[in-house]
């Protein structure tokens, strides 16, 4: 798959420091097990809390079996991890001030349900596409902006960097991240009303030449279709109206 916009997506001469939009291979991405109970690491026999884990015999105990997390103490637990391609999401101006950096894992476009045309056209609100690197360091991939992980800065070396976004694409990433985290949201047609009151469609507030009257809805009702949105083949975004006051 060719690179988007020629070779302008990536900076061929990045600065001698790590910045937002830098791409690294083999970053460790930790995942917490999908369970309410955690597997706690204990010394075999005495089940003593381990403050500084070192190689040796231990046992894994369900957390409610022992006095885990007592008095706010730190515990060591079992997690799963994978190493893979990832991109720095922490803002450049904050990188030197924190030991924990935000990163997103990158996933291959090939074999996924993501449509490359829509991806690189920016049509996915929560995805950011990374075209194939011109030097073939990696194939076309994408990051999911809602899948932001924390990683120790000490696990990343500048020498391992394989790509940097160009200045314009850094700005595009920032814009996309801001839109994803702050975009307006409303209830869609068919969802259940949890709170009675007057509602309006947020999408209709964007247009000059249509009326957007409030509708009264009761708890337990389903949100209706918005006739204005239906005309332009969009879904409604119903939101509850509140008294005008400071917030």
Say whether both 236 and 172 belong to one domain: no
Mean pLDDT of 209-215: 94
Say whether both 28 and 111 belong to one domain: yes
Over the stretch 155-186, which tens digit does the pLDDT of each residue have?
A: 999 999 999 999 999 999 998 988 888 777 89
- What is the pLDDT at residue 46? 80
Range of the domain at 146: 22-32+79-182
Number of folded domains that form the chain: 3
- Angle CA 10–176–137, to nearest 5: 25
**Pairing between β-strand 238-240 and β-strand 197-201 as defined by DSSP bridges:** antiparallel
Domain for residue 213, yes or no?
yes
Say whether both 101 and 168 belong to one domain: yes
What is the pTM assigned to this prediction? Answer: 0.76
Domain for residue 218, yes or no?
yes
223 sits in which H/E element: none
Mean pLDDT of 124-137: 94
- What is the pLDDT at residue 73? 87
Average pLDDT across the chain, whole number? 91
Over the stretch 33-72, which tens digit does the pLDDT of each residue have?
A: 888 899 999 988 888 888 887 788 889 999 998 889 988 8
Say whether both 202 and 96 belong to one domain: no
Say whether both 131 and 63 belong to one domain: no
Say whether both 172 and 231 belong to one domain: no
Say whether both 26 and 130 belong to one domain: yes
pLDDT at residue 239 is higher than 60:
yes
Nearest to 159 by CA among 26, 65, 4, 2: 26
Radius of gyration of the chain (CA): 24
pLDDT class of 247 with cuts at 50, 70, 90: confident
- What is the pLDDT at residue 236? 92
Q: Is the dihedral of CA 156, 161, 163, 164 positive or negative?
A: positive
- Better pLDDT: 3 or 133: 133
Say whether both 91 and 199 belong to one domain: no
Q: Are 161 and 24 in contact (CB under 8 A)?
A: yes
- What is the pLDDT at residue 166? 95
- What is the pLDDT at residue 61? 92
Say whether both 236 and 156 belong to one domain: no
User: Domain boundary at 150, 182, 214, which?
Assistant: 182
User: Domain boundary at 182, 212, 236, which?
Assistant: 182
Say whether both 134 and 196 belong to one domain: no
Q: Are 100 and 152 in contact (CB under 8 A)?
A: yes
Q: Name the DSSP letter for residue 63.
A: G
Q: Looking only at Cα atoms, what is the longest distance across the chain?
A: 75
Nearest to 20 by CA among 165, 179, 177: 165
- What is the pLDDT at residue 144? 96
Share of the chain above pLDDT 70, in %: 97
- What is the pLDDT at residue 5? 52
Domain for residue 17, yes or no?
no
pLDDT at residue 1 is higher than 70:
no
């Amino acid at each position: 798959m060719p690179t988007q916009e020629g070779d302008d997506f990536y900076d061929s001469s990045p600065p001698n420091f790590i910045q937002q939009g830098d791409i690294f291979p083999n970053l460790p991405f930790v995942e917490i097990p999908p369970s309410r109970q955690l597997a706690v690491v204990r010394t075999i026999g005495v089940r003593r809390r381990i403050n500084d884990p070192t190689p040796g015999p231990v046992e894994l105990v369900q957390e409610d079996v022992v006095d885990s997390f007592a008095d706010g103490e730190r515990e060591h637990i079992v997690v799963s991890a994978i190493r893979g391609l990832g991109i720095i999401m922490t803002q450049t101006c904050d990188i030197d001030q924190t030991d924990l950096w935000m990163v997103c894992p990158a996933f291959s476009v090939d074999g996924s349900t993501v449509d490359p045309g829509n991806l690189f056209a920016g049509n996915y609100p929560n995805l950011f596409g990374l075209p194939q690197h011109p030097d073939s360091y990696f194939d076309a991939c994408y990051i999911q902006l809602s899948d932001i992980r924390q990683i120790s800065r000490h696990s990343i070396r500048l020498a391992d960097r394989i790509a940097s976004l160009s200045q314009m694409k850094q700005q595009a990433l920032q814009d996309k991240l801001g839109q994803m985290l702050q975009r307006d949201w409303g209830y869609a047609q068919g969802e259940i009303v949890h709170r009675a009151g007057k509602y309006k469609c947020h999408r209709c507030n964007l247009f000059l030449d249509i009326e957007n009257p409030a509708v009264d809805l009761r708890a337990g009702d389903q949100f209706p279709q918005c006739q204005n949105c239906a005309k332009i083949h969009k879904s409604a975004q119903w939101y509850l109206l509140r008294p005008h006051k400071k917030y």
